[in-house]
Amino acid sequence: MKRYKIKAAVCVIVSCAIMTGCGSTRLTIGMGEVSESMVQKEIVEEVNHIAERSTVEDTAETRAEDLPWEGFPFPYAYSEEDRDTKENYFTLKEVLDDYDIMWEQLEENSPYLIMAEEMGIDLEEVKRKGRSFFSQVLGENKVIKGEGILWALNRGFDELKWLGHISAVPPENYEYLKTALTQNVGDLTKGFGKVMARQTELMTNEKTDKLYEYILTDRFGTGEERKKNEAAVITKDEIEIGKVGTGIPYIKIKTCNEKDIDEIRNFLKENEKAENIIIDMQGNTGGNTLAWREGIVAPLIQEPVKQEKVWAIKSGRLNQYYWDGEQPDYTLPDPISKEEREKTLQNMNSKDDDTLQYVLVKSTISPSQEHFEFEGRLWLLVDEKVYSASDAFTLFCKEQNFATIVGKVTSGNGGGTQPQCIALPNTGVLIYYDAFMSFNSDGSCNGIHGEQPDIEVQDGEDALEVCLKAIEASE
- Using the predicted structure, report yes or no on whether residue 56 has a pLDDT greater than 70: no
pLDDT for the residue 333: 60
In this prediction, residue 227 has a pLDDT band, given cuts at 50, 70 and 90, of: low
- State residue 232's pLDDT score: 53
What's the first-to-final CA gap in the chain, in angstroms? 34
The helix (H) or strand (E) run that includes residue 192 is helix 191-203
Beta bridge partners of 412: 387
Assess contact for 110 and 434: CB atoms under 8 A. Answer: yes
Lowest mean pLDDT across 10-24, 58-72, 74-88, 129-143: 10-24
Specify the pLDDT at position 351.
Answer: 54
Angle in degrees, CA 329, 105, 147, rounded to 5: 115
**CA angle, 267 then 270 then 274, to 5°:** 100
Q: What is the pLDDT of residue 375?
A: 94
Q: Per-residue confidence at 284, pLDDT binned at 50, 70, 90?
A: very high
- Could you check whether the bond before residue 73 is cis, i.e. omega within 30 degrees of 0? yes
What DSSP string describes 432-457? EE-S-B-B-TTSSBHHHH----SEEP
Residues 6+ apart with CB under 8 A from 463: 280, 282, 381, 382, 383, 406, 407, 408, 457
The CA-based angle 345-350-354, given to 5 degrees, is: 105
The more confident residue out of 350 and 355 is 355
**pLDDT band for position 322 (50/70/90)?**
very high
- How far is 88 from 211, CA to CA, in rounded Å? 6
Return the H-helix or E-strand segment holding 430. strand 430-433
Least trusted range by pLDDT, from 57-61, 113-117, 290-294, 447-451: 57-61
**Cα(221)–Cα(226) distance, integer angstroms:** 5
Least confident of 42-51, 68-77, 379-388, 395-404: 42-51
Which stretches does DSSP call E strand in 101-219?
Answer: 143-145, 167-168
Angle (CA) 387-423-255 rounded to 5° is 20
Q: How confident is the model at residue 356 (pLDDT cuts 50, 70, 90)?
A: confident
423 has a pLDDT exceeding 70: yes
What pLDDT is attached to residue 149?
94
Tell me how far apart the alpha carbons of residues 461 and 406 are, in angstroms, rounded to a whole number: 11
Please, what is the average pLDDT of the chain?
Answer: 82
How far is 289 from 390, CA to CA, in rounded Å?
7
Across the range 448-464, mean pLDDT stands at: 94
pLDDT tens profile 247-262: 999 999 999 988 999 9
**pLDDT tier for residue 6 given thresholds of 50, 70 and 90:** very low
- pLDDT for res 439: 84
In the prediction, which pLDDT does 235 show?
47
Decide if pLDDT at 388 tops 50.
yes
Round to whole Å and give the CA distance between 156 and 147: 14
In the chain, DSSP finds a helix count (H) and a strand count (E) of: 18, 15
**pLDDT tens-place string over residues 62-105:** 444 555 688 999 999 887 767 666 667 898 999 999 999 999 99
**pLDDT score for 352:** 57
Res. 24: pLDDT tops 70: no
Q: Measured between alpha carbons, how far is 48 from 188 in angstroms, rounded to an integer?
A: 45
pLDDT at residue 386 above 50? yes
More reliable by pLDDT, 437 or 355: 437
